[in-house]
Each structure stands twice: as C-alpha cells, then as structure tokens.
Amino acid sequence: MSSLPKPSSFSQYWNLRKDIVFLNHGSFGANPKFITEKQKEYIDLLESEPVDFSVRQWYPLYYANKKALAEFIGTSEHNIYMVPNTTIGINHILHNINETKKQWLTTNHGYGACLHAFHKIGERKGNEIIKVNIPFPLHDESQILEVIQDGIGPRTSIAMIDYISSATGIIFPIKKIIELLQSKGIRVIVDAAHAPGMVDFVLDELGADYFVANCHKWICSPKGSAFVYVHPKNQKEFKPVFYSFYNDWDTDHEAHWSNQFIWEGTKDYSAYLCIKDALEYLPSLVSGGWDEIKKRNKSLALEGATLLAEKLEVDLPVPKSMLGNIVTIPLWDDKIPSTNFNYYTEVKNILYDQYKIEVPCFFFPQAPKQYFRISAQLYNSIEQYAYLADSLLKTRDKN
C-alpha cells in the first residue's frame, strides 16, 4: 500500500484516525475535538452533582440550545423539540397521524429505517402504502415531480419525502414538492436528516407539515442530537408518544406544546446541549461562516465526484445543480448480490482492508447494481478522492 493522502489542514480540529482515509461523513457525521471536549464538560457537570444538574442547570441550557437551533433553521423555538435522531423523530410523527383506510405515499429514495417505520405504522393503522419509483440516474427535477404527481390517488393523505436522499444524494426540490402535495390536501413529512448545515432553508417558508432532521450530521454536534418540527396548524392534535414529567406545564402559554416533549426520563442529554456550541464553533474555523462551509463542502464534493467519474469513465447520475456534500457514483455490479442492509460489498471490503478507505458501497435500486457515495466535510482534501479513484481502478483491474 502506498502512503495515504493527507486530509485538509482543517483535519487538525478533528480527532479522526490518521491511518484511515475517511470519506463517509454522511453516515454518522464526525465531531470536531472542541465539541467532544464540550460534551465531556456537560457530562462532568452532570456527574459531579447529578441532581443539581438535572433539576436546576439543565433547563436553561436546553432552552438556549433549542432557541439557537430554531434561529438557525428559521422557525420559532416553540415549533420544535429535540429527539436523539431522525429515526425516532419520524416514528413520533407517524404515531401521531390518526388516519385509517387512506393511502400513504413515499418514494424508493427514502432511507431504509424510515421506510420501514412508514410501512409498519401506516399498515398497522389500516392504510395502504404506495412507494413510487423515482428514476436513477435522473436528468431533471421535473422527473421527480411527475412521478410524485402520478402517484397521488383520491385517498392519498400523507406523504413522506426526503430533502436529501441518503443512497442517491439528490437534493429534492422540496418546496415545489410540498406545494404540489399540499395543493391536493396531502400533509407532508420531510425527512431532512442531511439538510441542516448542508443546504439553505428557512423552515417557516418551506411550509412543511412535519420536518425532522439531524444536527449530528452536517452541524457536527454530538451523535444523538436531532429535532422534530410540527407546523403550528398540526400542533393541537400532535401529542407525546410517551408521557413523562412536564407534559402539563404552561398549558396557557405558547411554550406549552413543545414543553410536552422535553423530558425523556433520566439520561445523558449532553448531545442536545452541544448544538449551540457546534453552531458557533464550526463557522469560527472559516472567515465566511456557515455560508462558506456549505459552499466549500459542496464544491469539494463535486470536484471529487467529477474526478472520480472521469477516472472511472462513468457519468454522474444526477445534474450537479441537484447535488450537495454527498455524491453517489456508479460502480460495476457486485459479484455476490445480497439484499442485507449491513452487507459489505466485496469492493467495500477491499477498499477498507487493502487501501484503508472508509466509503460506503451499496446497491441501488437493488443488488447487484452497485454504487459508492462520497462525502465532503472541511477536513477532506481533493487528494483523498484521487486516491480513492486510483484504488478503485486497481481493484477493478485485478478482478
């Protein structure tokens, strides 16, 4: 194995292993060292006086974080509450949809765990699940709108749509999709796991009925920090999935709705408490703040993807205007097709074991059609994608 390519100079602020070329920020994010230290400070505060921290100190910290997050995503702090991750947030929403004998619509680009929840909960409530097939490769956003439009039936009442799809990296024209669906009286759940810190949006302007997203991906707060947004018009009927303390706080105050969800019982809440730190810390690393971070990451991902596509002599499956910090690129078919989610393809194993590259290789829409997905965060460098391209070419030539 030749020597590994260097990450960017920003990598000094992360704790990532130097013996791995880490090209998968998209799956679980990665905290800067500063945020890991901050999280330890909150855990130390908790453990040095568990009662004082949990009973007195915790609330102002929770509210300050929720307020900072609400400002960042463009809504009122009273329209959101924190959850550990998008999977749980989507479950909260689906359990709150009280409908039966309707059609619930989603797409084949949805994230596996959320699609499972959609199927299981939707069917248990007596609804029919319609999964429309959005083509991939894709040349135009109008294809997405057409397929969704064609999937709408007289009984369609709910749609769950990704903002940025996990497997295919497409930035969906979410505002247009919301408008289309709502014009037919359909409520829209947006799975926006990748959106905060990657794309620009103002939640209040999007008009989504429900919106769930992770802070632990592109905002780089600790794993276990995410939020649920519910449009004010849907809040009256939206209740906690599990009840605990404080559900009846401030019932005559605008804070009441979101206060119902704050106490998840005894646990380590430090991930929630670092969201504000991450929102402030990351932009301090560059001169142009969050705008620069988003621009840099997107342009590095596109530069890396273009280089890879050229070397592998393939086309990028999506117009660049519809891509952000994660880009999915075609590979040759896998020899041992499997449908298992955690199955590591042969190429993925070779890249990791022989070339020390962490990058997801997977099937879409199904085995054996194989793709890989690159991510770009501040700590990545273009040399890392060039090394991935060379490693893939060597792997292909040996087989």
Instruction: Name which of 107 and 166 has its Cβ closer to ligand PLP.
Output: 166
Least CB distance from residue 185 to ligand PLP, whole Å? 25
Instruction: Name which of 70 and 171 has its Cβ closer to ligand PLP.
Output: 171
Instruction: Name which of 84 and 391 has its Cβ closer to ligand PLP.
Output: 84
Instruction: Name which of 226 and 392 has its Cβ closer to ligand PLP.
Output: 226
Least CB distance from residue 337 to ligand PLP, whole Å? 23
Positions that interact with ligand PLP (CB under 6 A): 27, 85-87, 111, 113-114, 162, 166, 191, 193-194, 214
Task: Please give the order of strands across the beta sheet that includes 187-191.
Answer: 80-83, 226-230, 210-214, 187-191, 156-162, 103-107, 128-132
Least CB distance from residue 27 to ligand PLP, whole Å? 6
Least CB distance from residue 236 to ligand PLP, whole Å? 27
Query: Hey, what are 199's tokens?
Result: 């794309």
Q: How many CA within 13 A on the CB side of residue 151? A: 28
Whole-angstrom Cα distance, residue 46 to residue 164?
36
The total of other beta-carbon atoms located within 10 Å of residue 210's CB is 24
Instruction: Name which of 138 and 389 has its Cβ closer to ligand PLP.
Output: 138
Whole-angstrom Cα distance, residue 73 to residue 211?
11
Query: Hey, what are 307's tokens?
Result: 């280089």
Burial 259-294 (b: 16+ CB within 10 A, else e): bbbbbbeeeebbbbbbbbbbbebbeeeeeeebeebb
Whole-angstrom Cα distance, residue 118 to residue 316?
30
Instruction: Name which of 96 and 247 has its Cβ closer to ligand PLP.
Output: 96
Tell me the DSSP string of 167-220.
TT-BB--HHHHHHHHHHTT-EEEEE-TT-TTTS---HHHH--SEEEEESTTTS-
Least CB distance from residue 173 to ligand PLP, whole Å? 16
Query: Hey, what are 264's tokens?
Result: 């998840």
Least CB distance from residue 83 to ligand PLP, whole Å? 9
Least CB distance from residue 114 to ligand PLP, whole Å? 5
* Contact of 165 with 172, CB cutoff 8 Å: yes
Query: Which SS3 state, helix, strand or coil, does residue 105 take?
Result: strand
Cis peptide before 154 (omega within 30 of 0): no
Query: Hey, what are 361's tokens?
Result: 């290789």
Instruction: Name which of 53 and 364 has its Cβ closer to ligand PLP.
Output: 364
- Return the H-helix or E-strand segment holding 361: strand 361-363
* Contact of 77 with 66, CB cutoff 8 Å: yes
The residues, ordered by sequence, that sit 6+ positions from 266 with a Cβ below 8 Å of its Cβ are 54
Least CB distance from residue 166 to ligand PLP, whole Å? 3
Instruction: Name which of 85 and 156 has its Cβ closer to ligand PLP.
Output: 85
Least CB distance from residue 71 to ligand PLP, whole Å? 22
Least CB distance from residue 396 to ligand PLP, whole Å? 27
Instruction: Name which of 6 and 120 has its Cβ closer to ligand PLP.
Output: 120
Instruction: Name which of 75 and 214 has its Cβ closer to ligand PLP.
Output: 214
